[in-house]
Structure 1
Amino acid sequence: MDTKKKSSFSGSIGFVLSAAGSAVGVGNIWRFPYLAAKDGGGLFLIIYLLLVLTFGFTLLTTDVAIGRKTKQNALKAFGVINRKWKFLGYLTFLVPALIMTYYSVIGGWVTKYIVTYLTARGADAARDGYFTAFITSKVSPIFFMLAFLAATAFIVYRGVEKGIEKFSKIIMPGLIFMIVGIALFSLTLKYTDADGVIRTGLQGLGVYIIPNLDGITGKRFLEILLDAMSQLFFSLSVSMGIMITYGSYVKKDVDLNRSLSQIEFFDTGVAFLAGMMIIPAVFVFSGTEGMASGPSLMFVSLPKVFDAMGRAGSLIGLVFFIMVAFAALTSCISIMETLVANCMELFHTSRQKMSLIIGLIFAGAAAVICMGYNLLYFELPLPNGQTAQLLDLMDYISNSFLMPFISLLTCIFVGWVIGPSWIDEEMELNGTVFKRKKMYAFMIRYVTPVMMTVLFLQSAGIFTVIRGLFG
């Protein structure tokens, strides 16, 4: 049997929408708005945009170019280039394997809320304790997780062009349409609190986009910079093998320069619209105090906002969670595709068989993660000072530890072992001009490794440990 994968995207649009679908995930919706609200509004937006155009472009270009030039998945790509660096492929493979254990769990939570709003029980979702009661129950979270995972596995089962690309071409325009619609609606909101204070969506927009420099010191600026940098990993799907895998499906006649710019635009645009959708709405009904991070924002704060909207809130809530489900599904598909594609070559078997096997394995793993909120509940102190249960632990290892570390090693490998010209050749295929060639070489060799080292030490909690040792 020929184990080499010949699947490919039909063209540039299929690649861009699929890659953008991978990049646009739950992190854009529950993490980006929170960071923007916490880190000076427009100041964070400016810093994030500059990082996307420099660091993000560097990491994204590296992954996609490696994938297309080697025509290999992450597991083998680094070893094909240099056998001594084969280990980096295995490290990269670990990231989607860890993320897959819990991403479908979050997808199941979103699916549950879709059903809640479909059955006209939005007021129940706004009650204190509703979300906690759901995730701590023993059966319901597993049921909804399996439904979400089954949809993911079915699309991956169908393949690259007929499954992933076809789904992305349908879903991504719809996703963007819904985000724009809710964002515009948020700007029309108006609310008078018990003290007679009037808050409007346009005021909330000001909180979001106007730079707030109050209390900005050198240390605080560095914190904002590192927050924006860590968000890049959530947003662009870099350093987890996904973009290497998707790059291996890109045909040689596709202009990578243009495609990568379009992915940057899509991902950054959706992240910005997510903030424009959420921050004004939360500000109107809860003020700046209502902006929480992570699941608390999406499953606790926002249902209260939708309930406060009155009759329109139920419809807006339903559309919102369908939109989130689309974002979660496109990301989960890319994670599972990376695992399936690697294992197809590793075990010399078909896509259909491996999709079923991977689906079953991670159904079991995700069920264990679900039980981390009831039967297997524990609290583990992390090096960064936070406490974690099973889902948080998997997220910490993959996103806070492995991804910055893999990015650092990748920069060293490309910048100093094979050289930036190796990437330049792929970017300039078919006579296209790599317009950001000089910037890329400087970033990959000097700037990005330093920043990845700082981010790794910070996100892995090394700085916290050092401060604890030396008082």
Structure 2
Amino acid sequence: MNNRSEFSSKLGFVLAAAGSAVGLGNIWRFPYLAAKYGGGLFLLIYIFFVVTFGFAIMMVEIAIGRKTKLSPIGAYKALHTKYSFIGIIASLVAFLILPYYSVIGGWVIKYFVTFLTGGQAATANDTFFVTFITSPLQPVLWQIVFVLATLAVVWRGVKDGIEKASKILMPMLVVLSVGVALYALTLPGAFEGVKYFLIPDFSRFSVQAVLAALGQMFYSLSLAMGVMITYGSYLNKDDDLEKSVKQIEFFDAGIAILAGFMIIPAVFAFSGGDEAALNAGPGLMFVTLPKVFDTMGMSALVGGIFFLLVLFAALTSAISLMEAVVSTVCDQFKFSRKKSALIVAFTAIILGIPSSLGNGIWSHFTVMNMAFLDLMDFITNAVLMPIGALLTCIFIGYVIGVDAIVDEVKKSSQFKREKVFRIMIKYVAPICIIAILISSVLSAFGIIVL
């Protein structure tokens, strides 16, 4: 008999799953992609994909978890003995993302502590970020702190750890997001940034913008990494699955939009309306924003609150990644939760060290001109996740049949979007995923898709 833990309420599940979806992908990655690909245009494309493509894939993964009550490998094996390899790919993605994600989480803790201790002026210096990430010791130490903070929650289990933490962190994250966004909107010149972010400029439309929005949707919803299957396995059979997925989508898109309001108007205000300042790419949060905060009154307070917010978002996603791997270890090796959690945490620390040092003393080790952290991001997000999602669509659409998922959803939901779901899984999603995969691989070799 499967005595698997369950969330004590649908709210607990929604907040935990939303916490997984709401992470650095929303607050760090979404704003710089929106800035790069035309603001309002990118936002419009992104929301469209969240409510269609994202809805379909998330529905499949949570339904698989709830139907089988197993972690990814066991779940796919239970549905068809020859297809457990899809679960292996999903589990491998979470296993590989957690170490380098923890490195970035460590960066966030470093910035939060720096602002908390009054060192905010130093962060505005052009050399601060580079000096920090190239240090042979500091990034590793902060990464360990981040992993241990994640372990402290996962160690306590589903109800006492993940659910309780989510019920505290998610509301605080929303409140802080609204507060920082409102403050950013009061800055002189911020309104130009609001217009850039909200009003689509269709002259900026490109295939790259579409593929970037697709990739961002994938990344931010925690799809194809075993997380939603794992959380779905803890979901009560009576909880409305379709409604839960809609609520997770709302949280995810809402926080991404708030992140845009926090960052893009503030950068416009700081730069005097110069759009070039938005092209800082991944460094937008760690390099450009500290300069913005330094020009504000109460810079230590505002910056400290912002990086606390980012830390909460990073932790909720890291918790879900660690839980997906811990659940798999428990199921496959029959270890206790605490033993599994310790093994996973220790492994994440060890595997994270190359990502930490790859920016500094190990920077001469590159593959395809990518440092170790960038390489791991490419392997997981650009290759394994699309492959896993594509195989899942084929598996559901053409092996076991879409009805297997529809029947599971209808046990607790009316499934109003059933027709859209069927079309997306069998036809649209596979084509979109193949486009993401091809585009990502070509880009890695310097071939730009027009």
Q: Above 0.5 in TM-score? A: yes
SS at match of 2:287: helix
- Which amino acid counterpart does residue 93 of structure 1 have in structure 2? S
Unaligned runs of 5+ in 2: none
State the Cα deviation string for residues 184-230 of structure 1 (Å, max 9, x = none).
1111001xxxxxxxxx11121011101112354xxx1x221111100
Q: 1:211 aligns with which of 187, 190, 200?
A: 200
Question: Are 2:69 and 1:109 aligned?
Answer: no
Which residue of structure 1 aligns with residue 264 of structure 2? 279
The aligned residue for residue 277 of structure 2 is 290
Indicate how the Cα distance of structure 1 residues 326 and 414 shifts in structure 2: closer, same or farther if over 3 A, else same.
Answer: same
Cα separation, 2, equivalents of 1:145 and 1:154: 14
Alignment correspondent of 2:425: 444
After TM superposition, give the deviation of residue 174 of structure 1 in Å: 0.4
Matched ranges for 1:42-191 at <5 A: 42-190=40-188
Deviation by residue 1:91-150 (Cα, 9 ceiling, x = unmatched): 111101110121111111011111110111100000011011111111111111111111
Q: 1:246 — aligned with what?
A: 231
Q: Does 1:355 align with 2:341?
A: yes
**1:459 counterpart residue number:** 440
Match status 1:270 vs 2:268: no
Answering whether residue 366 of structure 2 is matched by residue 368 of structure 1, we say no
- Letter aligned with residue 239 of structure 2: V
Aligned residue identity for 2:337? R
Structure 2 partner of 1:403: 385
Partner of 2:245: 260
| CA 1:461–1:381: 2 relative to 1, 3 Å | farther
What is the aligned counterpart of 1:304 among 284, 291, 313?
Answer: 291
Distance in 2 (CA, whole Å) between partners of 1:305 and 1:156 is 35
Q: State the one-letter code of the partner of 2:113.
A: V
TM-score normalised by structure 1 residue count: 0.92
**Structure 1 residues 378 and 170, CA gap change in structure 2 (3 angstroms):** same
Residue identity opposite 1:22 in structure 2:
S
Of 384, 403, 419, which residue of structure 1 is paired with 2:401? 419
**Contact map agreement 1:88 1:406 (CA 8 A) in 2:** yes
1:292, 1:301 within 8 Å by CA — same for their partners in 2? Answer: no
Would you say the 8 A contact 1:30–1:293 is kept in 2?
no
Partner-residue secondary structure (3-state), 1:388: coil
- Cα distance change, pair 449–273 in 1 and its aligned pair in 2 (3 A): same
| CA apart distance, 1:52 | 0.8
Alpha-carbon distance in 2 for matches of 1:15, 1:148: 23
Give the match's secondary structure for 1:90: helix
Root-mean-square deviation (CA), in Å?
1.7
Correspondence for 1:10: 8
Between the aligned partners of 2:365 and 2:440, the Cα distance in structure 1 is: 19
Cα deviation for residue 458 of structure 1 reads 0.8
Letter in 2 for 1:455: I
Tell me how far apart the structure 2 counterparts of residues 356 and 37 of structure 1 sit (CA, whole Å). 40
Task: Give 3-state SS (helix, strand or coil) of 1:250's partner.
Answer: coil
Normalised TM-score (structure 2): 0.96
Report how many aligned residue pairs link the two structures: 447
Q: 1:38 to 1:368 in 2, by over 3 A?
A: closer
Distance 2:237 2:120 in 1: 49
**1:195 alignment counterpart:** none
CA 464–354 in structure 1, closer or farther in 2 if over 3 Å, else same: closer
8 Å CA contact 1:125–1:303 kept in 2: the answer is yes
Q: Specify which of 324, 327, 336 is matched with residue 338 of structure 1.
A: 324
5+ unaligned residues in a row in structure 1: which ranges? 191-199
> Partners in 2 of 1:294 and 1:256 — Cα distance?
36
Question: Secondary structure at the residue paired with 2:38?
Answer: coil
Q: Percent identity?
A: 48
Distance 2:429 2:304 in 1: 41
Partner secondary structure for residue 376 of structure 1: coil
| 1:437 partner letter | E
SS at match of 2:14: helix
Structure 1 265/15 Cα, relative in aligned 2: closer, same or farther at 3 Å? same
Task: Tell me by how many angstroms 1:419 deviates.
Answer: 1.1
Q: Deviations over 1:393-439 (max 9, x none)?
A: 11000001111111111111101111111111111104x31101111
For the structure 1 residues 373 and 40, does the alpha-carbon distance in structure 2 shift closer, same or farther, using more than 3 Å as the test? closer
Q: Say if 1:429 and 1:42 are closer, same or farther in 2 by CA, change over 3 A.
A: same
